[in-house]
Amino acid sequence: MTIYVVSGHMRTGTSMMMHALVTGGMDGVYTKNFGSKAREEWKARNYHPNKYGFYEARMGELHDLNVVDGKVAKLFGRMLLDNKQVYDCGVRIVYMTREFANIKASGALMRNKPPSNPSQKEIEYYNTEKDKIIKWLNNRKDILSIDVFDYDWVVDNPREAFELLQSHGWEFDIEKAIKAIDPDARHIGGK
């Protein structure tokens, strides 16, 4: 079997990608009501940062990715770096990225805070961390494929994105996955 992982920084479309892959027929490993504590506050604002769900597992549930064998799970980039175990079955990863100004604005909206422009230092830190994680993943012997996708590109080009994943061994129904991409769910950025 194979372990499938959706990764990236928070607010880069990791939940959108999980939603599409699960809708496309992949078995996902996640906690069904993740984020339920904040829902009342979001409901009062007529807002939800991920209207189709977060698709996250609780801390500690994914220390051993063998529980994900043949399934898909979401792990934020830092969690990947902390996982030193090598998996004989191999790992396929889609790593989501996004313009940092949009990540920051989306996070502020989620926390009901006024948006602010990112500093050059914040942008450099994000890009350095992203590059470090991707380089580290490319050097792992158990990685079968790694696809790095920009959030807005996936929203605007879902067929191309999903055909690329499928050509790299991801098993799901492309048509169902495409239908799961909702451009109206994009709060920040895009066209």
pLDDT in tens, 154-163: 999 999 999 9
Q: Please tell me the pTM assigned to this model.
A: 0.87
CATH classification of the domain holding 59: 3.40.50
Q: How many domains does the chain have?
A: 1
Range of the domain at 92: 3-181
Bridge partner list, 146: 93
Which of 23-27, 41-45, 49-53, 94-98 is the least confident region? 41-45
Domain presence at residue 189: no
pLDDT, mean over the chain? 84
Domain presence at residue 81: yes
Domain presence at residue 187: no
Burial category of 35 from C-beta neighbours within 10 Å (exposed 0-12, middle 13-18, buried 19 and up): middle
Domain presence at residue 12: yes
Domain presence at residue 162: yes
Domain presence at residue 33: yes
Contacts of 29 (CB under 8 A, 6+ apart): 57, 61, 62, 67, 68, 71, 72, 73
